[in-house]
Amino acid sequence: MALAQADVLAGLKEIVEEVAGIPAASIEMDKNFTEDLEVDSLSMVEVVVAAEERFGVKIPDEAVTDLVTVGDAVNFIINAAK
Amino acid sequence: MSRRVVVTGLGATTPLGGDVTSTWSALLAGQSGVRLLTEEWAQTIPVHFAARVAVEPSEQMERVELRRLDRSEQFAVVASREAWKDAGAPEMDKERLGVVIASGIGGVTTLLDQYDILREKGARLVSPHTVPMLMPNGPAANVGLELQAKAGVHTPVSACASGAEAIGYAFEMIAQNRADVVVSGGVEAAIHAMPMSGFAAMKALSTRNDDPARASRPYDLNRDGFVLGEGGGILVLEEYEHAVARGARIYCEIAGQGLTSDGYHIAAPDPDGAGVQRAIKFALRQAGISTKDIVHLNAHATSTPAGDVAEANALRAALGSDADHVAVSATKSMTGHLLGGAGAIESVFIVKTLQDRLAPPTINIDDLDPAVTIDVVRNTPRTLPAGDIAALNDSFGFGGHNVVLVFKSI
């Protein structure tokens, strides 16, 4: 099932806000998870697991290291859901 | 030249209050922090009550901090922030700053909650924060991280003596010139069906379900066990000259500690109390004072039938006729028993006692056990003498651990 970018971004915003306490309004496609949003490696695991549950996709551990920005994660999820 | 160690900051979150000031005033007023538990599980185990903290950490911390910290770690961070601020947040070389915070059981509710998730939802849903949350050194480690302490972060574990042992360890760190300032104390967060069932199976807990506020009754003839409490206490210890140089407010001095072990039984106290007597002797010797100088003792006194009398006998034997001028307070009658946090909050109480010259009361003694021959402060606070005075904290733990700390006015 194809996912719309806006829907995935909105969902990720909710997840990152819940996990890292970052206000959803400050989470955008070009934000870096570690440098801009202070999502450390442990919290990134939480983000990934929550995103898998929410969007019904599989995000393999080896792919997680390439998810540097929010946009990287949004695009990965859209592609994985195709 | 031995380095003197003083107390320059206090913090606490307890069943009587979310900070030191509110806790201390409730303690002097003789209030009980023990209540019926409202959780459904409480009705399924033999004991339906405990002493939860008066102020939930959710009212004291950010939500994102709460989800990454076990409840015991939350207590440590809350109380340490208060203590650090109370000490004037010293600007210092962080390589000379240490943290020693104990817990008797560690992140037991995290362990049990995550085990439920593992069984119900599978391994992938187990939180990546599980291990840093359940490790017993987690409270100390999180406080050390927040303060950027680099002289050493430590966690002695000796069951219900842990909190006092942590303060003793911090005292040694400064005395031996490893650090100039050490944030020390103890915390516990074990109010959960499983550990409570374990204590109940040992017959260690009071089962006075029809009257929770009267259940913790140290030295009363009809005491039937301890009441589990939660929370923690933190003391900022500092080398005397360091404190003077920065113009810090100095509460009192920690002058000595005594550490012994019973070699008797895994849970029961040695009825002779020989280990307790030796710990008192060693602590007084290190402090360079005699039994004549002691005017107050905050007792371990948990409200168990065997423990209270064994302790009282040991105190009478160790202090001799000088026990007649020692005002003994059993504050667990109000706070419940904080296990690894007990020796720490009771040390906070001693510091406040020396400052205000008021020994807190012991509540719920309707009929003093005739086997208790020490001078127990009952119902209302007692004024202590002016001039140079000293007070003791004794704490004991399952495993036969005995810790005695000496506090001196300054």
ipTM for the predicted complex comes to: 0.86
| Active-site residue set of B | 160, 300, 337
Instruction: Mention every residue, 6+ apart, whose C-beta is less than 8 A from residue A59.
Output: A48, A51, A52, A67, A76, A77, A80
Domain total of chain A:
1
Q: What is the pLDDT of residue A21?
A: 87
Spatial CA neighbour of B103 closest among B83, B76, B80: B76
Domain of residue B136, residue span: 5-245
Do A42 and B124 make contact, defined as CB atoms within 8 angstroms? Answer: no
Whole-number Å distance between alpha carbons of B83 and B90 = 11
Q: Quick one: B209 and B284 in the same domain?
A: no
Side-chain-side CA neighbours of B387 within 13 Å: the count stands at 4
Give the domain CATH number at B176.
Answer: 3.40.47.10
Model confidence pLDDT, tens digit, residues B186-233: 999 999 999 999 999 999 999 999 999 999 999 999 999 999 999 999
Q: Is the pLDDT of residue B286 over 90?
A: yes
- Could you tell me the sign of the dihedral formed by the alpha carbons of B287, B290, B291, B292, in that order? negative
* Mean pLDDT for the stretch of residues B36-42: 97
Q: What is the pLDDT of residue A70?
A: 96
Q: What is the pLDDT of residue A20?
A: 87
Instruction: Mention every residue, 6+ apart, whose C-beta is less than 8 A from residue B293.
Output: B388, B389, B390, B408
* Mean pLDDT for the stretch of residues A8-32: 93
| Lowest mean pLDDT, pick from A41-50, B13-22, B106-115, B383-392 | A41-50
* Mean pLDDT for the stretch of residues B359-368: 98
Whole-number Å distance between alpha carbons of B37 and B137 = 28
Q: Quick one: B344 and B238 in the same domain?
A: no
Q: Is the pLDDT of residue B117 over 80?
A: yes
Give the domain CATH number at A27.
Answer: 1.10.1200.10
Spatial CA neighbour of B102 closest among B398, B407, B345: B345
Q: Which residues in chain A are contacts of B129 at CB distance < 8 A?
A: 42, 46
Give helix B342-356 / helix B20-28 axis angle, nearest 10°: 70
Q: Quick one: B213 and B291 in the same domain?
A: no
Give helix B108-121 / helix B193-201 axis angle, nearest 10°: 120
Q: How far is CA A33 from CA A63, B123, B300, in A?
A: 15, 25, 49
Do A49 and B125 make contact, defined as CB atoms within 8 angstroms? Answer: yes
Please report, as a single letter, which amino acid is at residue B344.
A
Nearest-CA distance B150 → chain A (Å): 22
Q: Which of residues 52-81 of A touch B (CB under 8 A)?
A: none
Whole-number Å distance between alpha carbons of A75 and B228 = 51
Q: Which of residues 130-159 of B touch A (CB under 8 A)?
A: 132
Q: Quick one: B178 and B280 in the same domain?
A: no
Domain of residue A23, residue span: 5-81
Classify the phi-psi angles of B152: left when phi > 0, otherwise alpha if psi is within -120 to 50, otherwise beta.
Answer: left
Q: What is the pLDDT of residue B1?
A: 52
Spatial CA neighbour of B219 closest among B304, B345, B338: B304
Mean pLDDT of chain B: 97
Nearest to A42 among B64, B125, B129 (CB): B129
Which of B224, B245, B266 terminates a domain? The answer is: B245
Whole-number Å distance between alpha carbons of B255 and B408 = 7
Chain A nearest-CA residue for B129: A42
Q: What is the pLDDT of residue B220?
A: 98
Q: What is the pLDDT of residue A38?
A: 87
- Determine, yes or no, domain membership for B250: no
Do A19 and B67 make contact, defined as CB atoms within 8 angstroms? Answer: yes
Q: Quick one: B182 and B327 in the same domain?
A: no
Q: Quick one: B404 and B322 in the same domain?
A: yes
A 10 A CB-CB count for B44 gives 10
- Could you tell me the sign of the dihedral formed by the alpha carbons of A2, A4, A5, A8, in that order? negative
Q: Quick one: B204 and B294 in the same domain?
A: no
β-partners of residue B402 are: B260, B396
Q: Which residues in chain A are contacts of B127 at CB distance < 8 A?
A: 46
Whole-number Å distance between alpha carbons of B390 and B396 = 20
In chain A, the largest separation of any two C-alpha atoms, in whole Å, equals 32
Q: What is the pLDDT of residue A3?
A: 86
Q: Is the pLDDT of residue A1 over 70?
A: no
Nearest-CA distance B59 → chain A (Å): 16
Q: Kindly state whether A42 is in contact with chain B, defined as any CB-CB distance less than 8 angstroms.
A: yes
Nearest to A20 among B64, B125, B127 (CB): B64
Q: Quick one: B328 and B361 in the same domain?
A: yes
Q: What is the pLDDT of residue A2?
A: 79
Do A42 and B132 make contact, defined as CB atoms within 8 angstroms? Answer: yes
Rounded to the nearest 5°, which phi and psi values hold at B123?
-65, -35
Q: Quick one: B137 and B240 in the same domain?
A: yes
State the Rg of chain B over Cα.
20
Enter the pTM of the model: 0.96
- Binned at pLDDT 50, 70 and 90, residue B354 comes out as very high
Rounded to the nearest 5°, which phi and psi values hold at B330?
-115, 85
Q: What is the pLDDT of residue B102?
A: 98
* Mean pLDDT for the stretch of residues B340-365: 98
Q: Quick one: B136 and B282 in the same domain?
A: no
Q: Quick one: B240 and B261 in the same domain?
A: no
Do A46 and B128 make contact, defined as CB atoms within 8 angstroms? Answer: yes
* Mean pLDDT for the stretch of residues B236-246: 98
Domain total of chain B:
2
